[in-house]
Amino acid sequence: MWHDLLQTLSFQSGYNTTLVLTSTIVLGMACGVIGSFIYLRKRAMLSDTVSHATLPGVALGFMAAVMFDLNDGRHLPTLLAGAALTALLGGLCVQWIKTNTRLNEDVAIGSVLSVFYGGGIVLLSVIQRMQAGSKAGLETFLLGQVSGLTQNESWTIMIAAVIVIIAAVILFKELTLICFDSLYARSTGQPLLKLDVTLLALMIIVVCIGLKTVGLVLIVALLIIPAVTARFWTNNIAFLVVLASIFGALSCYIGAALSATLPNLPTGGMIVLSAASFFTLSFIFAPNRGLLSSLIGARHA
Amino acid sequence: MPAPLSVKNLSVHYHLQDEPALSSVDYEATPGHLTAIIGPNGAGKSTFLKAVMGLIPYTGEVKVFGKQLKDQKQKIAYMPQRSSVDWDFPISALDVAAMGLYGKIGFMRRVTKQHKTEALSYLDQVGMADYADRQIGQLSGGQQQRVFLARTLAQNADLYFMDEPLAGVDITTEKIIISILEKLKKDGKTILVVHHDLQSVGNFFDDALLLNRIKIVEGPTKQVLTPDNLAKAYKTPVLTDVA
Amino acid sequence: MLDEFLQIDLPAILVAVLASIACALLGSFLVLRKQALMGDALSHVVLPGIAVGFLLSGHINPLYMMGGALAACLASVLLINMIKTWGKIEPGAAMGIVFTTMFALGIVLLETKIGSKVHLDAQHALYGALELTYWPDPGNLSTLPHQILTLGAILILITIFIFLFFKELKITSFDPVLATTMGFKTSHLNAALMTLVALTAVASFEAAGSIIVIAMFICPAATARMLCDNLKSQLYVAAMFGALSGLLGYILAALMPLWLGFEHSLSASGMIAVTAGFFQMIAMLFAPKYGALKS
């Protein structure tokens, strides 16, 4: 077992495993980068809604693929297009509720999340009944399974993740500005709405490419946890984004390798637990914000 | 030469509120003057600034140097209230000051060494150059306010809007801010400042705009700050020695 | 036909309605206190608690599992507060870290060791298992499913709590600062409320799955919030829409397809959430005073 794990960790388990592992690592980097801006824009929980809102889209995509006879429904581009569509719809619903009703953002986030997810489950049950017993294989979208990833899918994930990272680097200055002081950003003529929609779109892309490996229930963790972990170590936003992408990549590397080697370990869960370990260590030991230094500081004060 | 700011029939009605926050305000700023916007709490002073900069929906007409605001963003600079940002944000004083240059640097372009040097010179003007690398949350309230002022200066605008720059700051900061305001005025800039302290209005400001959901009166400070006008705005007689 | 209804549908409807009312009542306070996502977070946290409860007891013991879940909820509330205060992390992110980590832990525990032995697997957490409530001998109260009894007891507890502390809940929800200056112990009341929320989340999760818990803590309360301006009517209206969503959602998912001649029913948990969301949408658009489309 240890031998197998070491082999996977050192990228020596064959082309396929190496490719899957690499794509997951790049996904982790993209999550860290985008997650940093989402966290600083205080949209952490919105990403939870967006990821849950992909479920009805995945189900509708499956139905559409079956209808047009594409690869018995498991046609990834169609599934992801559906996922992105309902995720966007969910994000816009939250925005609409926030601006047009007396309900607060947390209520908007929670209600859209539960209703879209509920709708997704109803659609999944429709598919299950339609298929009469034969599994549609959509369950992996909930919790993620790295072993089911094909080479094509790995390349898709990698390319999309790299595009997201490049976009975030190009827009670094503008994204920083809207995260820090959105009112001021608008007063200087920055297109706040367009930048916010861009951030939402980048978020949706990483959520969608993360569906297969991390799963929609836990992808939000990969967006938030590395960014917050990085926050414990730096006061500089550029450094924070770099650190977050490293934490994201490491979490994916360790989690995916463990899940690929050991039987029955769900990938999404293992990745999140790896990320959570980095967080816990940082939360305890980091200077200034860490638990220990806070406690020592409190005693000295 | 058109007025730096001309406002006709400006009204603001916040979503889900019964009463409008501002109704039918007409106003014209005098070029090169330092103007105080005064009035009781909830009078709509900050609302007025946000509306003329198009940050909140309004009805009426706003012209900046005779043109629509959206074509004139390079000519205005805004200094928001201190409470509007998250002070724990991972960013240094220098980076905040450099934000004032973003309009000049351009969309998607990098911030270069030169830009950083320029931003540092603005920090220097407000006596904050020594604190350039500090995370903004680690500065005192007055110091934070000066960093914001440096960012506003970096925009190098013709018309300045400042929301309560003097609220709750220490004496050093107050002196620095006042001297900067005077310097801007000397350079021919027009400045509108939301101000809370009636006592000091007469000392620094040329003009005043007195609001309380409607425009009560505008004009040279001495003419605005009469007991009659203040009573109208504040509903109760205000004891003040400025008038 | 009637037997089937009494054995399967009636207990499921009772579970759905009781859970919905309990969640809707507490949800009203969560919504007013801007803690709406607490219900969402806690419903995820229940999972590792149940798993650990099982590990400790060694077999399926509802008491241990509920105890474990409750402990996990309370530990999470503490953790979230620690990360907020010591780590200076904003509440949304702190909550996101804790509940996703706990949920991941639960999933990993269930999928590896005990998943095969416990009836309650990850699927249950993800889809809800309303359909599993079964009353073997209808009419015989001693065989009434324990979920119904538990939820009934919790609902009574909640009602008593609200009745006794109505005044305190009102002032602490409306204006926590004023309440503190007037000498109300906001932290105690908040702790009591969170305990009840955790208890309800655990019981409803066990009976109906997480999706009902999340939806019912928020949607009926939000619907009522669009329609009402005072706390008493807020509570009545939320409870009513909770019950209505539970009943109607179940009928739409479980019975309607059969009446229409289809062979299989659909996911009731999901449909109940959708029904609750539908009511909320109608209220957001057409509420007489606050609706977005009011004339």
Kindly determine whether residue A177 and residue B102, on different chains, have CB atoms separated by under 8 Å: yes
| Predicted local distance difference test score (pLDDT) of residue B242 | 43
Tell whether the model's pLDDT for residue A134 goes beyond 70.
Answer: no
| Predicted local distance difference test score (pLDDT) of residue C1 | 64
Q: Which percentage of chain A shows pLDDT scores above 70?
A: 95
Residue C88 forms contact with B (CB below 8 Å): yes
Nearest to A180 among B77, B89, B161 (CB): B89
Please list every residue in chain C whose beta carbon sits closer than 8 Å to the beta carbon of residue B86: 90
Give chain C's mean pLDDT: 86
Nearest CA in chain A to B79: A184
Kindly determine whether residue C100 and residue A221, on different chains, have CB atoms separated by under 8 Å: yes
A113 CA to chain C: closest CA distance, Å?
8
Please list every residue in chain B whose beta carbon sits closer than 8 Å to the beta carbon of residue C290: 16
Which of the other chains make 3 or more beta carbon contacts under 8 angstroms with chain C?
Answer: A, B
Q: Mind listing the pLDDT tens digit for each residue in C19-56?
A: 999 999 999 999 998 888 888 888 889 888 888 887 88
Tell whether the model's pLDDT for residue C155 goes beyond 90.
Answer: yes
Give chain A's mean pLDDT: 89
Q: Which percentage of chain B shows pLDDT scores above 70?
A: 96
Tell whether the model's pLDDT for residue C177 goes beyond 80.
Answer: no
| Predicted local distance difference test score (pLDDT) of residue B103 | 86
Nearest CA in chain C to B137: C88
Nearest to A188 among B85, B96, B102 (CB): B102
Q: Which percentage of chain B shows pLDDT scores above 90?
A: 63
Please give the residue that has the higher pLDDT: either B91 or C255: B91
| Predicted local distance difference test score (pLDDT) of residue A135 | 56
Distances (CA, A) of A268 to A28, A30, A174, A257: 12, 16, 32, 12
Please list every residue in chain A whose beta carbon sits closer than 8 Å to the beta carbon of residue B103: 188-189
| Predicted local distance difference test score (pLDDT) of residue B241 | 45
Which of the other chains make 3 or more beta carbon contacts under 8 angstroms with chain B?
Answer: A, C
Q: What is the pTM of this model?
A: 0.90
Chain B 135-174, residues with CB within 8 Å of chain A CB atoms: 135, 151, 155, 161
Residue A236 forms contact with B (CB below 8 Å): yes
Nearest to C108 among A273, A290, A294 (CB): A273
Across the range B131-150, mean pLDDT stands at 94
Half-sphere exposure of residue C258, counting CA atoms within 13 Å on the CB side? 11
Beta-bridge partner residues of B79: B162
Tell whether the model's pLDDT for residue B33 goes beyond 70.
Answer: yes
Number of A–C residue contacts, CB under 8 Å: 197
Chain A 94-133, residues with CB within 8 Å of chain C CB atoms: 97, 100-104, 106-107, 109-111, 113-115, 117-122, 124-126, 129
A87 Cβ contact partners less than 8 Å away, ≥ 6 residues apart: A50, A51, A53, A54, A57, A204, A207, A208
Kindly determine whether residue B16 and residue C88, on different chains, have CB atoms separated by under 8 Å: no
Nearest to A117, CA basis, from C128, B98, B127: C128
Q: Mind listing the pLDDT tens digit for each residue in A141-192?
A: 888 877 778 888 899 999 999 999 999 999 999 999 999 999 999 998 889 9
Contact residues, chain B to chain C, C-beta under 8 Å: 16, 86, 88
Please list every residue in chain B whose beta carbon sits closer than 8 Å to the beta carbon of residue C90: 86
Residue C32 forms contact with A (CB below 8 Å): no
Please list every residue in chain B whose beta carbon sits closer than 8 Å to the beta carbon of residue C88: 88
Structure tokens at B94: 């220098």
Residue type, C29: F
Residue A292 forms contact with C (CB below 8 Å): no
Across the range A96-123, mean pLDDT stands at 93
pLDDT band at B230 (very low <50, low <70, confident <90, very high): confident
| Predicted local distance difference test score (pLDDT) of residue A133 | 46
Across the range C189-216, mean pLDDT stands at 87
Tell whether the model's pLDDT for residue B243 goes beyond 50.
Answer: no
| Predicted local distance difference test score (pLDDT) of residue A88 | 95
Q: Are strands B159-163 and B190-194 parallel, antiparallel or unpaired?
A: parallel
B10 Cβ contact partners less than 8 Å away, ≥ 6 residues apart: B22, B24, B25, B26, B27, B48, B51, B52, B58, B59, B60, B61, B62
Nearest to A114 among C123, C215, C253 (CB): C215
Please list every residue in chain C whose beta carbon sits closer than 8 Å to the beta carbon of residue B88: 88
Complex prediction ipTM: 0.91
Q: From CA A58, how far away is CA A219, in angstroms rounded? A: 15
Residue A190 forms contact with B (CB below 8 Å): yes
Residue C290 forms contact with B (CB below 8 Å): yes
pLDDT band at B236 (very low <50, low <70, confident <90, very high): low
Q: Which percentage of chain C shows pLDDT scores above 70?
A: 93
Q: Mind listing the pLDDT tens digit for each residue in C105-136?
A: 988 888 776 555 555 556 666 666 777 777 77
| Predicted local distance difference test score (pLDDT) of residue B172 | 93
